[in-house]
Amino acid sequence: MSIPRHIAIIMDGNGRWAQSRGLPRGAGHRAGVKAVRSTIEACVRHGVPMLTLFAFSSENWRRPKEEVGLLMGLFLEALDREVDELHKNGVRLRFIGELALLAPELVLRMRAAEQRTMANTRLTVNIAVAYGGRWDIVRAATGLAADVAAGKLPAESIDESAFAARLLLGDSPDPDLFIRTGGEHRISNFLLWNLAYTELCFLPELWPEFSPEHFEQALAQFAQRERRFGMTSSQVAKL
What residues form DSSP beta bridges with 126?
52, 94
Known catalytic residue: 176?
Answer: no
The three-state DSSP-derived secondary structure of 125-148 is EEEEEEECHHHHHHHHHHHHHHHH
If 0-12 CB within 10 Å is exposed, 13-18 middle and 19+ buried, where does residue 148 land? middle
Known catalytic residue: 60?
Answer: yes
Rounded to whole angstroms, the Cα distance separating 84 from 111 reads 14
Give the torsion sign (CA, 182, 187, 191, 197).
positive
Phi first, then psi: give them for residue 67, nearest 5 degrees: -70, -40
Residue of 8, 4, 20 lying closest to 205 (CA atoms) = 20
Q: In 90-211, which residue ranges form alpha helices assigned H by DSSP?
A: 104-117, 133-149, 160-165
The catalytic position among 14, 60, 80, 120 is 60
Radius of gyration of the chain (CA): 19
Catalytic sites, residue numbers: 12, 60
